[in-house]
Structure 1
Amino acid sequence: MTNRRAFIKNTGLLALSLPVAKTNFFTAPAHKLPAFGIQLYMVKEDMAKDAPGTLKKLGAMGYSQIESYGSDKGMFWGMSNKDFKKLAGDSGLMLISSHYNDEPGGFEKQAEKAAEIGMKYLICPWKGPQKSIDKFKEFADEFNRNGEICKKHGMRFGYHPHDYPYKKVDGQLPIDVLLANTDKNLVDFEMDFYYTVTEGQDPEAYIKKYGDRFRLCHMRDVLKQRLPKNSEEESACDLGQGIINYAHLLATGLDNGMKYFFVEQSRYFHETPLQSAKINIDYLKKLKLAEI
């Protein structure tokens, strides 16, 4: 617990948690997010019960982009790719991307279906912790191959790091190895600000160092008062209720090629997932991004 609190002091991230009004650097709004997106995993129970109704509610809140995932019914929720696209579109939602699982027909079949309806990305959501850094080099080769497949179909391939790529293996950070060993013309990354911060890394430094490698992101906040390690999503909270200065980070992202911004949260307090989705988008609607 003590070590996880200490990262705020030791990594220079305290500046990212300062209230906007208390420093002149963060006062002048430069731009706004181009669109508000949400990862459907956040509302998976609602989607399983009533996909049309859930999408309609998300659209009414003001979300205009969605990212799907490899649910039990697949990334198109038991529908054809075209039917799901139409269902989302009827609620004013564009299906930008999806996390994928291994499915019959392999990765290329999924890429074909995604490209057919104009999706921009297929994203690997998980590889898990590994005992050797060489495994991450193997993953990088796999990502490059998948990137070639996506490119052939007019799409992009991405990888979504969780916490484990920010934990050293053989003296190296897997995230650095993956960035170094993937082709920037084939593989993009989807930063999860929550995991980057809670693992003691500086998301702004990564964004600036690697430029437009981070084209997508997941957004949730980190509690000021940290919860015990290993509790479920131990320190996640709604946007604006924690330490992350999104006014600054999102402006940095936009200035460095980040295009897609998805709310994604899997720990809730008194809110239902849909209520939490509303709290998050209301925060983003009011957020004035800092001038970088």
Structure 2
Amino acid sequence: MNGKPLPRRRSLLTAALGAAAAVSLPARAAAAEAQDRRIPPAGIGMHLYTMRTPLAADYAGTLATLAEIGYATVGVSGRFGNTPAQIRGWADAADLRIVLEHVSYDTVAGAGLPQALADVRTLGGRWIVVPSLPSALHSPAGFREAARVFNRAGAAARDAGLKLLFHNHGGDHATVDGEVLFDILLNETDPHLLGFELDLYWAVKGGADPRDLFLGHPGRFPALHVKDMAPDGGFADVGSGVLDFPRMFGAADTGGVRQWLVEHDSPADPFATARNSYRYLSTVRY
């Protein structure tokens, strides 16, 4: 070793320290403030697909336990033989607000849409959500057909005082014949008629960056599925995996996010997942 690299490292360190010292106090305060935002308590919810096993045994009791944990809202996915009025009654009794229901594409595209809209209104929700597209539509032509359906159904939802949303999976972000499928829905639907319930796990799994989506399409993502990814690519309780939620949430206001709904597709213990995930979302800063 000839000793020449050492002054080089010292000069770099001196320059870095000088640059840090040059940052103004207001800039430092702004940076600190940017890391001190938190999710509003009324925005922390549970997507009930996570809780499907206990719901099937005791729907009312499951809702009551979620409220005791601290959740303010829920998204409905499966009624387990109960009516919208019954579910609304149990949610009201638990002081939980139902914000949305998942409804199949075939229902939204067909004659069942008016009843589905009426049911969401009975539940007290504000969004009717298509959870996935049929596999036959997974092509640019199919996504364009879905975009036309969503514009029509979105107009009907608007007339009913609701908003239509689409929930993504990994394959929706694939590039097919040179086109990103998800971009077709973003670009060929009316933002006033279709929004998105963005599943953060599936977006990342499919190769998309949720932060870029928020910044590139302001206001189009009123609801999130906050689902974490284990190191092996599987599912994890929120906050225990590898996804950088603070980075994503930093652009959530631009994206129009109002609801952060926990989801885990295969929890070993749904209530433990609910507790762990709530603890993270109620304390995370970004």
TM-score relative to the length of structure 1: 0.80
Structure 1 residue aligned with 2:118: 112
Question: Does 1:125 pair with 2:131?
Answer: yes
Bigger helix share: 2
Residues in 1 aligned to 2:188 and 2:194: alpha-carbon distance in whole angstroms:
10
Residues in 2 aligned to 1:117 and 1:266: alpha-carbon distance in whole angstroms:
23
How far the C-alpha of 1:240 sits from its partner, in A, is 1.6
Alignment of 1:208-227 (within 5 A): 208-224=215-231, 226=232
Structure 2 residue aligned with 1:277: 274
Question: Does 1:236 pair with 2:258?
Answer: no
- 1:30-64 deviations in Å (ceiling 9; x for gaps): 34334211111111011011101111111111111
For structure 1, the 5+ residue unaligned runs are: 1-23, 227-233
Residues in 2 aligned to 1:255 and 1:171: alpha-carbon distance in whole angstroms:
28
Question: Does 1:286 pair with 2:283?
Answer: yes
Question: Does 1:91 pair with 2:88?
Answer: no
Question: Does 1:42 pair with 2:50?
Answer: yes
Structure 2 residue aligned with 1:264: 263
How far the C-alpha of 1:184 sits from its partner, in A, is 0.5
Kept in 1, the 8 Å contact 2:195–2:221? The answer is yes
Q: Which runs of 4+ in 1 moved over 6 A?
A: 24-27
CA, structure 1 residues 242+117, in 2 after alignment: closer, same or farther (shift >3 Å)? closer
Higher-RCO chain (CA-CA 8 Å, sequence separation at least 6): 1
Kept in 2, the 8 Å contact 1:31–1:251? The answer is no
Residues in 2 aligned to 1:56 and 1:118: alpha-carbon distance in whole angstroms:
17
Structure 2 residue aligned with 1:141: 148
User: Which of 196, 202, 207 is matched with 2:214 structurally?
Assistant: 207
Residues in 1 aligned to 2:60 and 2:123: alpha-carbon distance in whole angstroms:
18
Kept in 2, the 8 Å contact 1:67–1:96? The answer is yes
CA, structure 1 residues 143+246, in 2 after alignment: closer, same or farther (shift >3 Å)? same
Q: Secondary structure at the match of 1:189?
A: strand
How far the C-alpha of 1:245 sits from its partner, in A, is 1.9
How far the C-alpha of 1:248 sits from its partner, in A, is 2.6
- 1:145-165 deviations in Å (ceiling 9; x for gaps): 110111111000000011111
Residues in 2 aligned to 1:131 and 1:219: alpha-carbon distance in whole angstroms:
24
Structure 2 residue aligned with 1:9: none
Kept in 1, the 8 Å contact 2:219–2:255? The answer is yes
Residues in 2 aligned to 1:133 and 1:185: alpha-carbon distance in whole angstroms:
22
Kept in 1, the 8 Å contact 2:169–2:206? The answer is no
Give the total of aligned pairs.
Answer: 251
How far the C-alpha of 1:86 sits from its partner, in A, is 1.4
How far the C-alpha of 1:250 sits from its partner, in A, is 1.8
Sequence identity (%): 24
CA, structure 1 residues 116+46, in 2 after alignment: closer, same or farther (shift >3 Å)? closer
TM-score relative to the length of structure 2: 0.82
Residues in 2 aligned to 1:162 and 1:123: alpha-carbon distance in whole angstroms:
13
Letter in 1 for 2:54: D
Structure 2 residue aligned with 1:29: 36
CA RMSD in angstroms comes to 2.0
Question: Does 1:53 pair with 2:52?
Answer: no
Q: Secondary structure at the match of 1:205?
A: helix
For structure 2, the 5+ residue unaligned runs are: 1-30
Residues in 2 aligned to 1:64 and 1:216: alpha-carbon distance in whole angstroms:
14
Residues in 2 aligned to 1:139 and 1:59: alpha-carbon distance in whole angstroms:
36
Kept in 1, the 8 Å contact 2:138–2:172? The answer is no
Structure 2 residue aligned with 1:21: none
Residues in 2 aligned to 1:210 and 1:178: alpha-carbon distance in whole angstroms:
12
Letter in 2 for 1:210: H
User: Which of 168, 190, 206 is matched with 1:183 structurally?
Assistant: 190
CA, structure 1 residues 131+160, in 2 after alignment: closer, same or farther (shift >3 Å)? closer
How far the C-alpha of 1:105 sits from its partner, in A, is 5.8
How far the C-alpha of 1:131 sits from its partner, in A, is 5.3
Kept in 2, the 8 Å contact 1:47–1:54? The answer is yes
